Chain A
Amino acid sequence: MDKHHAAQGASKGRRKALKGLIGLPFIGGIAAGAYAEVRKKQQEKDQILRELNIEAERPDIASDMSGDPVRIGIVGNGGRGQHLVRVLGFATPAWVQAMQEQGNTGALEAYQSQENLNVKLTGVCDVFEVNAELAQSASPDCKRYRHYEELVNSPDIDAVVIATPDHWHAPVAIAALQAGKHVYVEKPMTHKIAETYALREAARSSKAVFQVGHQHRQTQSFITAQDIIRKRILGHVSLVQANTNRNSDNGAWQYHIHEKASPQTIDWDLFLGNAPRIPFNKEHFFRWRKWWAYGSGLSGDLMTHDYDRVNCILDMGMPRFVTASGGIYTHRDGRDVPDVFQAVMEYPDFTTGSSREAGLEKGMTFVYSATLGNQHWRETLLMGHDGTLELGNQLRVHADPNSTRYQHLIESGVMDPSVPIYAYDPASGNADGVTSATSKYFAQKGLLWTYRGGKRVDSAMLHLREWLGAIRNGTPVSCGIDEGFEEAMSAHMAGLSWKLGRRMEWDAATEQMIAQPGEDLDAVLLSPGRAIAGMMG
């Protein structure tokens, strides 16, 4: 091998190596690029999450369910009552059979895997024979009481769950508290103004535990939302909107009329109670939500959910002014409660904190809007100077493009006001700062977050569990008499504003609704019609 050949060989070798290894620099470049890209996104996300510092979980309140079983009586074992009794652990054989026939294994499995709350169902009072027998079929210990007074005074009952029509909530709750029994009462807490004060007095002067059935207070996302407000993520919230949209017979309270209903199977006089005396009427019995005499329409029946949803997050309490409008526009079937309803609540002194100069921001309006003639989904929104919270089972926070607090993050490109800066889903247990357009898209469709790991738990069960924990261990309840008072009174103000056609005002000093001289607001609230000339319903 001469020198020339050797040089040629070395040159060929180098060329071969160059040709062979052509891809290597690309791999280095791609790896560096991918690393830099992911790192940048992660840093932006970390910066956002650090800035927000939202705590997604709450500490577990130890609630020991051991000891003697709590003996429970159910007053009003209709649709809602049966649900509450079931989450307490007493499904009827008829329900189990119906779920099996429908192939609803999910509901059956959820029921079977439910936590044992260590309670006995020892009593039922229902004016309809069929409902009373249903409770008895779910529990061998369950005795039927013909009158609620007998049930609440029975030595076999420690605690009472009340799921009657609205006009019976307060009378039964007051009687139970006076008998020293713990009370769990469905919403709205009361049907009238006077009994709201009376029930508050009864709860305050009793050692028994009192809880109103706003089970969403157990919803993890609402507890997270409380932290969002505490950390002033939204800045000063000036407007809150919540909505009800339904478009079905069931949603408009056109419930099934039981074939066994008759004056022989229903104690009609006891059902009427303090309502106007009218002859036996199956429709009034099963579809009581359609009349002011027993129910409270959209303001008491559904707005109370939204009011308390927001009150449990903002703790804004009683509104100063309430104005309502609406009418019977979608179900002109003889009902006297509105089926389209808007209420505007004013809180001129309320603030969630401000990121701007002192004194500039104060006051908030809560707008509730409902129709029973359209079911298009409308988000619940809490709108602040620095951000907007979409409130549901999932949470999403968008920074406001003109936010003061996030100005530097928006200008530096870390925050994009068009995508959520925070998204939370209790089902996945993950909190995440969402920074990409596709993540946003999937987040909006609810596809990224599914139930995994943990099982689904009924929030009414958790709410009852909290009540039982308070009975056993003295731990606090989340929807006690003060929260119930605010919920009931604000609903009554909205109902009255609709009926009277004028703005209702709350006097915080005397804790009273301001009435005209000689005006009996309770009589107006219960009356079937409206006092506005030319308006029907």
Chain B
Amino acid sequence: MTYSKPQLFFLTALRLFAGWHFLFEGFIKFLTPGWTAQGYLLSAQGPFAPFFQWLGSDALIGISDTLTAVALSAVGLTLILGIWEKAGAFIGIAMLAFFYLAHPSWPGIPAAGPSEGNYFIVNKNLVELAALGVLAWFPTGHLLGLGVFFNPQNQVQHG
């Protein structure tokens, strides 16, 4: 796939920014002693609330916490490094779908917590989810990222 310079610039910027966001969230969770998603999961709203409360139950919360931190970091790494970015984007889409459905910004459903903005159905989770879809189908890692080293068109010609 070939891009114009502005296309490549903004697609790469989008990839790096989304990766930055995921990786920072993952690192923070790893580094914060006693961090847990239990409050977020137990306070889930909407039709899928029982499922998320199950994920937040005492029996499962350890696994839920570890998976969250690992997956956030893994998605962040693939996007920032520019390798396996399609797989990373898909995992990221699945996670954002979870975050969205646990506290959907639907009319009549209370917000998860204090918010800096106002949302009607579409919130930032949903916007980032769509952005990851764009990144999955408009990859840039083979042009700017570790993918460069695995891109046959990009091999240095030895005379």
Contact = CB atoms under 8 A, between A and B. Distances in A.
Interface of A: 1-2, 5, 9, 12-13, 16, 19-24, 26-27, 30-31, 33-35, 37-38, 41-42, 430, 432, 437-438, 441-442, 445, 447-448, 450, 452
The contact size tier of chain B is 35 or more
A13 B19 CA distance: 26
Contacts of A441: 113-114
B156 A13 contact: yes
5 contacts: A23-B19, A23-B82, A41-B32, A42-B32, A42-B33
A16 B113 contact: no
A448 B16 contact: no
Contacts of A34: 24, 27-28, 31
Contacts, number: 93
Nearest to B148: A20
B156 A20 contact: no
With a 10 A CB-CB cut-off, give which of A26, A438, A452 has the most chain B CB atoms. Answer: A26
Contacts of B28: 34, 37-38
Main secondary structure of the interface of B (DSSP, over half): helix
A19 B24 contact: no
Contacts of B23: 27, 30
6 A-B pairs with least C-beta separation: A34-B27, A442-B39, A20-B148, A23-B80, A38-B31, A23-B81
Contacts of A2: 159
Nearest to A39: B31
Nearest to B27: A34
B99 interface: no
B33 A22 contact: no
B24 A33 contact: yes
Contacts of B40: 442
B123 to A, nearest CB: 16
Interface string B1-34: 0000000000010001001100110011001111
Contacts of A450: 38, 42, 58
A452 B80 contact: no
Given A19-B148, A22-B144, A38 B32 contact: yes
Contact of A5 (B42, B43, B77, B159): B159
A74 B44 CA distance: 47
B149 A1 contact: no
B131 interface: no
A14 to B, nearest CB: 10
Interface string B75-102: 0110011100000000000000000000
B66 interface: no
Contacts of A448: 36, 38-39
Contacts of A437: 113-114
A88 B154 CA distance: 80
A27 B58 contact: no
Given A9-B156, A441-B113, 15 more contacts: A2-B159, A9-B157, A13-B156, A16-B156, A22-B12, A22-B82, A22-B145, A30-B80, A34-B27, A35-B27, A35-B31, A37-B28, A38-B31, A448-B38, A450-B58
